[in-house]
Amino acid sequence: MQIVLEKVRADKKLLVAQNMDLTEAQGKAFWPVYDRYQDELFLLRVRSAKLMKDYADAYETITDGMARKLLDEYMTIETLRLKLGKAYLPKFSNVLPGAKVARYYQIENKINAVLYYELAGGIPLVKGDKK
């Protein structure tokens, strides 16, 4: 999973670069902020990968308690992801005009949507209660 995460990270930077249309000056200011943001986002992706592994390990014998614990972790990760994006908004706004910041956040959201879609296809639904 670590190799997959690293590949996503490298491919993502290329995709962002191709779609941001940055001037040289904007690029010099943007990329260090982007790299710090991605470092922190990467930690959340690692945590998400662990969550998926924990779910896969528990899938056949999941209990209500395990399901709640996994759901709590998912909600925590999503909350942290939102907080991180919000914390970096002023940092990106300090180095890029508003329209380019919005464009960057759109690119991030589109990439996340594709990743979530791909992951969702391989994650079976929790087995229903047979009561």
Number of helices followed by number of strands (H, E) in the chain: 4, 0
Give, for all 131 residues of the chain, the pLDDT tens digit: 556 556 666 788 999 999 999 999 999 999 999 999 999 998 998 898 889 888 888 888 888 999 999 999 999 999 999 999 999 999 999 999 999 999 999 999 988 888 777 777 777 778 766 55
* DSSP per-residue string spanning 57-115: HHGGG--HHHHHHHHHHHHHHHHHHHHHHHHHHHHHHTTS-HHHHHHHHHHHHHHHHHH
Burial of 118 (0-12, 13-18, 19+ CB in 10 A): exposed
pLDDT at 11: 87
Q: Tokens for 84, please give them.
A: 């991180």
